[in-house]
Amino acid sequence: MKILIAASALCLSACALPSATGTAEQRVSIDGRTYQIGQLTNSTWIVTPSGIGKPFAITQSSRGALLDAIAKTSGCKVTDSDWSRQGLQLDAQVDCGSKLDRQGASMQ
């Protein structure tokens, strides 16, 4: 029983772990689906659908909304993006030298 409780506590605490850079992941809802946004490196942010192993099922407009959410969450300009993990993750490269105003518009 103690092992079961310890294993459950470990699983629950893993859900709240910060990303590799120490920043907490953000949850966003776009087109009725929930996604998690997190920072992988100083210049790379990632988006994954909530739920283990769920593939993306998004339109071009919702992909744009995800990239806008990364820009707002990171405070940086998204410069490039691509799919990884066999389509289970959207990676976005950001330029934090190009800061954004509060509405997400680039301030150059």
* Distance from C-alpha of 105 to C-alpha of 16, rounded to nearest angstrom: 30
Q: Encode pLDDT of 33-60 as tens digits.
A: 889 999 999 999 999 988 766 667 677 7
Percent over 90 (pLDDT), the chain? 33
Place of tokens 């100083």: 42
Domain ranges of the chain: 2-95
pTM for the full predicted model: 0.65
Question: Mean per-residue pLDDT for 71-97?
Answer: 91
Neighbours of 8 (CB within 10 A): 10
Instruction: Report which of residues 6 and 85 the model is more confident about.
Output: 85
Residue 80: pLDDT above 60? Answer: yes
* Residue 41: per-residue pLDDT: 93
Q: Are 93 and 84 in contact (CB under 8 A)?
A: no
